[in-house]
Structure 1
Amino acid sequence: MIPDQHEPIQVAVNHSGGDWQPPRTWWMFCTRYIGSNFLRAFKVPHLQKLVVNIGYSRTVEEYNINYKRLEEQGEAYARWCDAIGLRHWVLAFDEGHRWGHMTTNLVECINSVLKGARNLPVLALVRATYYRLNEHFTRKSAETHEHKHAGFNYSVFAQQRIEANMQCVGNIVMHRFDRRNEVFEVREMSNEKVLVVDLAQRLCDCGHFEVERLLCRHIIACCTNQRLDWQLYVHDVYRMTEGPTLVANPALRRTSKGRPKLTQYLNEMDSRDMCGPRICRLCGRQGHSQSRYPQCAGLSGAGDDGGS
């Protein structure tokens, strides 16, 4: 759950009896709202980007550098950030529970689907929301199946990230390795930076692997150098494997138009033989009803002939 910093939300979370607390639910603050609240509190636009960068810090080292820069600008700014709680907004301390999602854009992207539906009446609003979301998810599902039939075993997002990291493998060389314990040291040629990769523990000093559970360029370089299958280290959440087959519940289907179907079990008291004969309300005769009054049909037909 990624909310903003509104007090009613925090009160509801704290008084939920543990239903919205770990390990059942992990909640983090939206970095966009943190930057907005910081700007509202201190009116220092030039420091807003630094606060956002603190939230995006993927390693403790990166966090310490950005935090020290903010503290040098004023201790009040640093104390304001300390009150938030590191686990609720800094990537390096969230234990990978937010999967790299820093803002509420994951949900707010649905706003483009629901444009023009806000000012509708309640019934039309619910109907428009239902059909537009149904169309949106149906289209996305079709795109996913096309991606899978093309030979990709991972989501579109994961495949794009993996392909981008594969293009950077040429700038990384193996420094040291312990194949038995799956611990490696790699060096980036561009800045001569040495990083440690632990495939057994799913750890990398760059921090990307722990945050997004997705292969970084250093892990791909290790697998390529040691001829290991890199697909073994992709998290299952990114795989497009077939899940359980879902069967629709017919009892939840929308009621069709027309009179409802009779679901009652009939007995001898419900038989039409126990009822009296049909009596027409117009002529008082038996054998037909008012809607099937024979003279009405004749009069109607005669009127049509006269009109032509």
Structure 2
Amino acid sequence: MGHMTTNLVECINSVLKGARNLVVLALRIKANMQRAGNIVVQRFDRQNEVFEVREMPNEKVLVVDLARQTCDCGHFQVERLPCRHVIACCANQRLDWQLYVHDVYMTTEVRKVYIFEFVPLSDAETWPAYQGPALVANPALRRTLKGRPKSTRYLNEMDSRDMHSPRICRLCDA
């Protein structure tokens, strides 16, 4: 790190080097744990598992309901993973945040995808003829492969002035 490079792929690889062997779930949880440090649990009802949290930089107040598995930010409901607010509540009350990870992320559930056998496709010549609608390509959307690409630059008054005068070669003045 700290080296300049002109290769974009090298830049991306150097940034993602630490995350290369982690699963997506671990990356999301790690990011939420880091961001949970700026959240303060203000009030809570431990019996009903309802918490009021405040994000410190912007003073935003949100309600987390662990019993219903909801958070005002919406990420907890959509992703079915503990958001940073849920992780802050769990840390405050010494609860295990892993209880709020949906079963769909469990290794046993992921392995169920690969239980079924699949039949390899036969040769394409043995497939039945296609009976659906015929697709017709729009020639206006086709890319031209030959020649120099057309400029998409917006022209200004300096460009229009240059277009009216004849072009002169700077090497031979012809």
Q: Which residue of 2 aligns with 1:170?
A: 37
With the length of structure 1 as denominator, give the TM-score of the two structures: 0.30
**Structure 1 runs of 4+ off > 6 angstroms?**
none
CA offset at residue 247 of structure 1?
6.5
CA RMSD in angstroms, aligned pairs only: 2.3
Q: Of 212, 219, 224, which aligns to 2:91?
A: 224
Partner deviation per Cα, 1:229-283 (whole Å, 9 max, x = no partner):
100001111222264573648xx5789xxxxxxxxxxxxxxxxxxxxxxxxxxxx
With the length of structure 2 as denominator, give the TM-score of the two structures: 0.51
Change (3 A) 1:212 1:253: closer
Change (3 A) 1:239 1:188: same
Tell me, in whole angstroms, the C-alpha distance in 1 between the residues paired with 2:116 and 2:60.
Answer: 53
Q: What is the aligned-residue identity percentage?
A: 67
Number of residue equivalences: 100
Segments of structure 1 that go 5 or more residues without pairing to the other structure are 1-145, 148-155, 256-308
Change (3 A) 1:253 1:169: closer
Tell me, in whole angstroms, the C-alpha distance in 2 between the residues paired with 1:240 and 1:246.
Answer: 13
Tell me, in whole angstroms, the C-alpha distance in 1 between the residues paired with 2:120 and 2:62.
Answer: 56
Q: Of 183, 202, 205, which aligns to 2:50?
A: 183
Task: Kindly indicate which of the two structures has a greater share of residues assigned to strand.
Answer: 2
Q: Which residue of 2 aligns with 1:196?
A: 63
Change (3 A) 1:254 1:234: closer
CA offset at residue 217 of structure 1?
0.4
Q: Of 229, 241, 245, which aligns to 2:108?
A: 241
CA offset at residue 192 of structure 1?
1.2
Task: Kindly indicate which of the two structures has a greater share of residues assigned to helix.
Answer: 1
Which protein shows a greater Rg? 1
Tell me, in whole angstroms, the C-alpha distance in 1 between the residues paired with 2:116 and 2:72.
Answer: 45
Segments of structure 2 that go 5 or more residues without pairing to the other structure are 1-20, 123-174
Residue type of the partner of 2:102? H
Change (3 A) 1:187 1:236: same
